[in-house]
Every structure is written in C-alpha cells, then in structure tokens.
Structure 1
C-alpha cells in the first residue's frame, strides 16, 4: 500500500511540480498524525514517477512508429489493390480476344474445307463421264472445228482447276495466320490469369500486414488509454484521502491529471487520423492539367453527374473492402464505377483505366460527378492508386482504405494528379 501511495504521489508531483519544501511548509501541526509524504517518500515517488513516465513515453514512441508504418501501408495497399483490379481488367480483355480468335479459327477451317471440296469437284468433273477423255477424242477429229472445241474445253477445265487450287492455298495461308493469332491469344489469356493470381496474393499479403499493424496500433492505444484511466483514478483517490493542509493542492493535481489523462486517451484514439488531418490543413498544390482534353471524350453530362453523386453519397458509412463494388462494401474504383453506372456511363473497375476513359478537366472547372485521381508519381498516370468523386466545395466522396468507411474528404492532397470527366 505504501509503494502504491508513492506511485500516486509521484504522478501528482510530476504533474504539478510540487517540491519537498512546499510539502513541508504545508504540513499539519506536530501533534497531528502526518498524512503527507516525507522526504524519503518523495524521493522514492519521484523515482517511481520517472519509471512510469519512461514507460509511457516508450509506449507513445512505439505507437508513433506503428502509425507511421500504417500511413505508409495505406498507400501501398491502395497500389496493390488497384494492381489487382488492373489485372482483372486486362484478363477480361484477353478472354474476349481469345474468344474472337477461336471464332476466326473456326471460320478459316470451314473455308479450307470448302476450298478442298471445290478442288475435288473440279477434278471429278474433269475425269468423270464426258470429261477429259471425250474432249481429248475431239483432237482426233478431222473437223477443225471439233479440234478447236476440244482445246477450248480443256483450257476451261485447266483454269477452273487452277483457280480452285489457288483458293485452297490462300485459305490455308489465312488458316495458319489465324492459328498463330489464336495460339498467341491463348498464351496471353493464360499469362493474364497468372498475373491476376499473383496480384491477388500480393494484395492479400499487404492487407494482412496492414491488419497486423492496425491490431498493434489498437493494442497500444488501449494500453495508453488504460494507463491514462489509472492515472485519473489514482488522482481522484488521492484527493479523497487527503484532508490536511495540502488537500487543495492535491485536488488541483487530481483535476489536472484527470484532464491530461482524458486528453491523452482522446489523442491516442484519434492518432490514426492525425497525420491525414495535418496534410489537409496545409495541402501541397497538385499538378494542374490546365483543362486539356487528353484522354477519352466525355460522354457523361451534368444530370448524370448529379445522379452519380447522389448514389455515391448514399454509400457513406459503408465499409471499405478491396476489390469490392457494392452493394454493401466498396473499394475506391468500385464506388466510382457503380456511381457513374447510375449516371448512365459505364466505367471499368480500375482507377488507371478510369483515367484513360475520362477527359481531362481543370481543377478550377470541376463539376459534380467529376473524378479526382491520386498517384504515387504525379507525373505518371500509370502509378494512379486512388480515385474519388467530386461533390463540390473542394470535397469528394471516397472509399479510402482498409478499416475505414466511405466518407467525405478534401480533394487536396500531395498525391493529387488531376481530374477526369466521364
């Protein structure tokens, strides 16, 4: 109990800076049983306070390091998820190409068989019935006209046979080309299938790492909050126990300790959002595309933009889930894809492809429903890893990252690369 009292006292002394001399000056008369700590108690309590403060400082240092890691992982996870979305998008295109190639291969096979049939038909006509033998017999005729007719008919048969062989040869050439194209398309489809699997594994690994750090942050925040609650309770108990001349000082210390404890608890719980909030207060000026029309031609309209925004806002509060496109969970490009689907425009579930399929628009000319893009390298659109939907007044609706929910945020961030209009 005495050691615990020293710890209580040490925390209050540290908070108030109360000296030994002050404690002695506030002592009760000698006839009363002393209820305040002596010099030895104060010295020991200060040592305990130093140990406790060092432990808390070390815990806060670990929390800051974990939060920094989490901030970095947020971007890395976004990049990995969009790489997976891109692989799925490219696999879909490869499957369509292979399907078309198989259809062309079947058509060329049919053409070759038809050409072979034509060759066989010409050969059959040439040697069957009143074919070559009859025409050759005309050469033995004493009638010059008969001889001429025989020569003419043989010439026609020769031309027909030659034409049929030419068509067969051409059909085989086309068939060989299409076979190679089909083989290449199949290889491409298989490669893209492997890439989808690889990017999925990479995204899952990043998400697992992110979840591990999230758990660590939550654990550290909980421990700091518990420590803060203990400090506050100690201060309240100590204030209630003391009724002597230093009671007022101790009540003040308890109140201060409780206030500081609540502040530390609140800061610990909100630390996960502190770095982002600081960036939003002093945003770096993003690269302005000047309203040039690089990219796809806009097919949306203002009415479609309003419908898209209404849909996006209706999803606020729903959880982020990588590779998800609704209706209960979303990732960034899945949310914008579904929103603009409501606005009458079809977009792929891939932020880089959405950039490619929208027309560039100046940040000063944004309207409701325009898409704002964020990249690891603001000079290279292929590094885009996040997209949100503009809703006016410098704000956007976004599905941010694992552990967060669809929300309204400022569009101004240091990795803002530009905007596009569907």
Structure 2
C-alpha cells in the first residue's frame, strides 16, 4: 500500500486530508500521494501547498498526475472525491426541485438523482481504468450520492470498492456537543446512506436515554443544520432507543426544508464564497517556507475518515468503522447485494460485517422505497434510457409519480449545460 491516488485532488478538502495522512505517516506504508483534478488552477494551488507540507514533515512524496490514466496506473488505493459538474451544477441540484415544491438538496431527493447522473458515469470510468492499470487497487468512493455511486460500482464489478461517508460521526458529535459531553461515543446502525438509524448509543459511556440535559442544536450550527437537528430530535422522541441520521428528516418533513431553502437561497452560494477564501489562504500558505494549515473541516471531517479507513486497511488489528458496502447478510432488512451503511471490522486481512440492529418498525416501508430508488437510479445513471430515468426518479419517495418525474427531467434537460446522454 505504497501509492495513494486522490481524484479530485484540487479540492479544498485535500490539504486537510494530507495533514491527517502526515499525522499518521508512521503507521502507513505510503511513499507517494498522487493528485489529479480536471481543475488545473486549483490543483496547482493545492499541490504546491501539500508538497511543502509533506516535505516539511519528511513524509511521503506528493506528485501531480497529468491524466486520469497516469494517476491510476500502479496505484494501491484510489480515493474518488470528485464533484462532476462542480458548484454550478450543484446550484441547479438545489434550486430546480424547489420549482416543483420539493426539497433542493445535493444528495437527497431529485437533487441527488441529478447528481447521480453525473457522478455514476465518471465513477464507472474510474473503475474501468483501474481494472486495466491497477487491478489490485482498492477504490475508496467519497463521491456523492455515496450510496448510489457505490451501488453502481458494485453492480459493475471488476474492482474492490468501499463507500465512505462521515455523516454518522458528524451526527454523533453533534449529540455530544448538545449534551456538553466529551466526544466519546459508540453506536450501532442500520439503513442506507443518509437514511440510517443509530441505536445502542452510548455518550461518554452512558446510554443516550439516561442523559438528562436538555438537547438543543450546537450553537455554531447554521440554520439548516439546526433544523435537521431539531427534526432529528423529534423523530428520536417518537422512536425510543434510536437516533436518526440527520438527513432522514428531508424525507419526513419535506416542506420544512422547502420553506427554509426558499428563505435562505442555495447552499452552494455559501460554499462557493467559502471556497474562494480557502483557496486564497492555501495559495498564500503554499508560498511560505513552513506552511501552517488550518483545518477546513472538523475532527470528523473528510481527512479523518479517509485516513482512518486507510489506517485500518494497513493494520493487522481490526478497526470498527461505519462503511457503505454490499449487505451480504449484515441485515435482513435489505437485499443481499444492496449497498447498506453498517458497522464493520476492517484490517489488512479484510472486512468483517457485524450484525446490524433492527430498524424501527415504522421506518421499514420507507426503507424499502429508498432501497428500490437506490437500485433503479444506480442502473439508470449507468446508462439507462429516458424511461429508465423517469422510473428511477419516480421511485424516490419525495417524487412518487411518473408524470412529475418526467416533468422534472424535462426541466433538468433544459437547465443543465451538460445534460448526460441516455445510454452513455
């Protein structure tokens, strides 16, 4: 496990990832980290900074690959963290559904469907190159919507794939902060990515139900995250012993998010402004002899989860992680080959699935709807025709009707500058 390739290496998340890799370099056999990105300008800024960071720490070598093929050839690990279409497409993902009275969100609902139509073909292209040029490599998928992209890769076969998402850690950290407790927690989980339920939750060694402190969203949360927390709390009170993934309320309280989005505008606009500031900071730091990088994300962010997975894969000691993988008997709630989000043990010897807890009974119907949507969308995004896309979008619980799905797809075809061709 000497060469790690990062696709989307020009992302503002990459310096945080590299800092986490450097912090654990003594545990990792990495000698080379390759960066590849279609945005040459951002890639140059990030490469200059991360090269200086690695050199200063006397860690691995950071290099830039000129093509996807050069980036992947001979790699041991490939981390796919790309965003096909960029923030311009994300803005449409978030705004187009609102025209139909549905939540505009980049992974949930129609926005996630349109994102999948861009992300899945690119991920399958990566898998094809890996099969030719790095057949023994492991693909770590961080590209959203994670469950659909990972499902499409599993359906294709030919490469070893692990789906990553840090939402469970983010949700449990929010609980710790709300309770005023240290960031120490354990839990079990079952469900699909962004539609999981946590159970057997211990916060600082004490069952969640035994904590008597009033729960309120962390003060540093923005309005959207506060809304998600408050609605998650409402769901938890209705399902004793469980806490929901904070994206689940989108499906159960859609109009609350429609109203919020119409009031504050697309989240992508806020992200774009933040990224401009970070790239300016990265460029300045990259020119310093000894750069001092500030984390882009918190302690449960992109860098930490990816590095935790890489450390686990390199270790003879099993690490317990929450990953997105084919079910293979972890839970009776979903089909054998459906990609689920569940707790596993990971080591250099492989991945062991742990038995998942039961889902709340009232959620089972929605879970089966979301499973069907995930599987249909993975196939439609991989090369389905117009009717396959309509059927897949109609299967999303927030859409539900073929006529509405067809109207949304027609509107999308006119809105996205690079609308993907059916069957491509």
Q: Fold-level match, TM-score > 0.5?
A: no
More helix by share: 1
Normalising by structure 1, report the TM-score: 0.21
Structure (1 or 2) with the greater strand fraction:
2
